[in-house]
Amino acid sequence: MGSLKRAWDELKQSSVGKDFEITFFAERGDLLKSLTADNKMLVTDNMRVKQSLAFTSGGVSHVNTNEYDIFLIYGSQLLPFWLYDDAFYSLEFIERSIQEHLEGSQAKHLLTELRKATNKEIFLGHDPMLTQKSSCPQYTVKNYNVGMEKLNSYLAKNYNAKAIKQSEITLENKNICETDIAYLKNSRRLAIGFNNDNEIHPKDDLQHMNDDFGSIWISNFFEKLYL
């Protein structure tokens, strides 16, 4: 989330920013699981989360869904979903696999609570694909496209929501689902009012991406909104 927040702070001064206004409600880790629906709002009793929401949003410690047109849940333990493109899967297997894929994630919790609070459009963005430095199995872009299509069918049916795919521009190559290692360089912590705000992540951190990645992600998201 830090990469998107800092990228937007730059983009909102450009031509991209003149058409949109974004309010960030962000926190590190999975502490946003404390948010629950209360009428048309998402609220929390956790004081640290309240402080983080107020810091990242510019002073607001709850989410009033009446004040926004659309919603984006980014990261929050939502992983890319893959299916092999040359295999047959029953509908029952696909649905069960997606349920297990989402279970326990902060993204599912936020999606569930947000849908209780509003009927407006909700989008999700998964955690970045890992890079060549990781030991994760390789999946092809075809596997990714098939999996994300099925994930979106499930999300549309059960939540009236849609997941946004990671831009191919950020991949190491156009066939294998690995984020270009260049986007790991100088990734920084999310600023929430702590002493280590915007601190460079440790070298062994393979999950967080830099501000260039955030800029591409947001620009790609806006393009999808126009389609």
pLDDT reported for residue 53: 96
> Any long-range contacts for 202-207 (C-beta under 8 Å, 24+ apart)?
206/130, 206/131, 206/133, 206/134, 207/127, 207/128, 207/130
Q: What is the band of 134 on the pLDDT scale with cuts at 50, 70, 90?
A: low
Q: Are 213 and 3 in contact (CB under 8 A)?
A: yes
State the chain's mean pLDDT as an integer: 90
When pLDDT is averaged across residues 109-125 and rounded to a whole number, the result is 97
pLDDT reported for residue 227: 56
Other C-beta atoms within 10 Å of 25: how many?
A: 21
Which pair of tokens denotes residue 63?
A: 């989410």
Is the CA virtual torsion 72, 128, 182, 199 positive or negative? positive
pLDDT reported for residue 87: 83
Which pair of tokens denotes residue 101?
A: 């894929």
> Residue 226 pLDDT > 80, yes or no?
no
Give the pTM.
Answer: 0.91
Going across the sheet that includes 161-164, the strands are 70-74, 121-125, 161-164
pLDDT tens digits, one per residue of 161-188:
999 999 999 998 777 888 998 998 888 8
Q: Are 193 and 137 in contact (CB under 8 A)?
A: no
> Residue 150 pLDDT > 90, yes or no?
yes
When pLDDT is averaged across residues 91-106 and rounded to a whole number, the result is 96
Number of domains within the chain: 1
Domain with 153, as residue range(s), is 2-226
